């Protein structure tokens, strides 16, 4: 993309970047900070609450993977540096690993099944912690991306100002 084309697209790319970043971070914080807690406080059966949380987590992880790809592409198009391209790609990958590998493994463990064996609880606990760690890493990474883009944008603005 030429410098002229990039300059013309910049007024469009910046608000799109901030919209995607804001939606991504907002969804992660709402889900992790409010929704999960409210579901487990109000639904009397932990298994039912877990299924409900899992049903919401899946689409959130996929949306996060897409958001990461978009943020990487927008960061590259805005020429904000390698870190703001690589980091969202890594976060997107973490969301996909969680969605396609860890979350399904957690969901397959039936703690109420007497045939699950004594190790089922330990396996569930280990996988659940890993899933929460990946989710938290993605959320923390999204916060870092907001800060990085804010800093880069402030520096760009300072260079444009007389």
Q: What pLDDT is stored for residue 1 in this prediction?
A: 63
Q: What pLDDT is stored for residue 110 in this prediction?
A: 84
Quote the CA–CA distance of 90 and 94 in Å, as a whole number. 6
Q: What pLDDT is stored for residue 26 in this prediction?
A: 97
In terms of residue numbers, what domain contains 141? 3-160
Percent of the chain clearing pLDDT 70 (strictly above)? 98
With vertex at residue 58, the alpha carbon angle to CA 53 and CA 61, rounded to the nearest 5 degrees, is 115
Residue 4 has pLDDT above 80, yes or no: no
Q: What pLDDT is stored for residue 73 in this prediction?
A: 97
| Number of separate domains in the chain | 1
| DSSP per-residue codes, 17-60 | HHHHHHHHHHHHHHIIIIIHHHHHHH-S-HHHHHHHHHHHHHHH
143-158 tens-digit pLDDT: 999 999 999 999 988 8
34-80 tens-digit pLDDT: 999 999 999 999 889 999 999 999 999 999 999 999 999 999 999 99
On whether the CB atoms of residues 104 and 117 are closer than 8 A, the answer is no
Quote the CA–CA distance of 100 and 111 in Å, as a whole number. 21
């Amino acid at each position: 993309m030429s410098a002229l084309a990039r300059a013309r697209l910049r007024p469009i790319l910046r608000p799109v970047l901030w919209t995607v970043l804001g939606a991504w971070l907002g969804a992660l914080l709402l889900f992790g900070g409010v929704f999960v807690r409210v579901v487990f406080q109000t639904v009397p059966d932990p298994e039912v609450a877990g299924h409900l949380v899992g049903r919401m987590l899946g689409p959130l992880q996929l949306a996060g993977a897409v958001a990461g790809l978009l943020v990487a592409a927008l960061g590259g198009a805005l020429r904000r540096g390698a870190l703001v391209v690589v980091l969202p790609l890594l976060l997107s990958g973490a969301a996909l690993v969680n969605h396609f590998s860890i979350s399904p493994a957690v969901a397959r463990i039936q703690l109420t099944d007497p045939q699950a064996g004594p190790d089922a609880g330990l396996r569930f606990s280990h996988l659940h912690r890993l899933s929460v760690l990946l989710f938290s890493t993605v959320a923390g990474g999204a916060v870092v991306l907001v800060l990085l883009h804010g800093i880069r944008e402030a520096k760009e603005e300072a260079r444009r100002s007389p």
